[in-house]
Amino acid sequence: MTTLADLKLDADGYLADPNDWTPEVAELFAKELGIELTDRHWQVINYVRQEWEKTGDMPSLRRITKQSGVPTKEIYKLFPKGPAGKIAKLSGLSKPKGCI
């Protein structure tokens, strides 16, 4: 059984290498963040992973709300208090730097 201590994290506590990500890693981070992952969470995470694989970057939150099928209001309910960072963390990406 892997725990957070077994993962290589960056200085911000995000996964150091996005290639190390597995659904199990998302579950570990979810526990740390106090989030119980539902299908709707996975819809967002899977979309972000897909985009990252295509572009090498995390999509902006605006893009996520427009293209993942999960609108802004729901995003803030699913990932309360700072969705950008929480989505990045759960998706195995580094702390987001975009403005939008």
Residues designated catalytic: 99
**Neighbouring residues of 34: CB distance < 8 A, sequence distance ≥ 6:** none
Interface with another protein, residue 85, by CB under 8 A:
yes
Tokens for 13? 């506590």
Cβ–Cβ < 8 Å for 48, 15: no
**One-letter amino acid of 66:** K
Q: How far is the CB of 82 from another protein (least distance, A)?
A: 3
Figure out which of the listed residues 37, 89, 92, 93 binds another protein, where binding follows CB under 8 A. 89
Which residues of the chain form contacts with another protein (CB under 8 A)? 13, 33, 60-63, 65, 71-73, 76, 81-86, 89, 96, 99-100
